[in-house]
Amino acid sequence: MNLTDISLLSKVGGDIDAIYLEGNKIESLPANVFSNMKKLRYIFLSGNNVSELSSKAFEGLTNLTYLDMNASPLGTIPAGTFDTNKNLQILSLADCGLVSLPKRPLKEQ
């Protein structure tokens, strides 16, 4: 696939447990893009072109346990991005060209 815009995902809801979006051309993750997917546990976004990440992209995903954003040119992660992801156990950011991270990217529970 060659998806570039995933803003319509904010209208998808229900019992989705995992979403696979690897190898697309997604450039940004806007605020609340996954907000209706309350049961989402796994997000696979590796190999995209994500350079813009809203601090509220993953807001409210309390069941999220695994997030793979490998090989995307992120550069930075905004403060508070993962504050509501209390069950996040694996955050994979290899080869993202990170130049800065918030002091505490993952909130202690």
- Would you state the pLDDT for residue 109? 52
| Sign of the CA dihedral with 85 first, then 89, 92, and 98 last | positive
Task: Tally the residues of the chain.
Answer: 109
What integer pLDDT is reported at residue 104 of this predicted model? 62
Q: Summarize the confidence of residues 18-32 as an average pLDDT.
A: 94
Residue 89, pLDDT above cutoff 90: yes
Q: Mean pLDDT in the chain?
A: 89
Using alpha carbons, select from 54, 45, 51 the residue that is nearest to residue 24: 45
pLDDT at 39: 93
* pLDDT for the residue 9: 83
In the predicted structure, residue 103 carries a pLDDT above the cut 80:
no
Helix-strand-coil split of the chain, %, nearest 5: 5, 15, 80
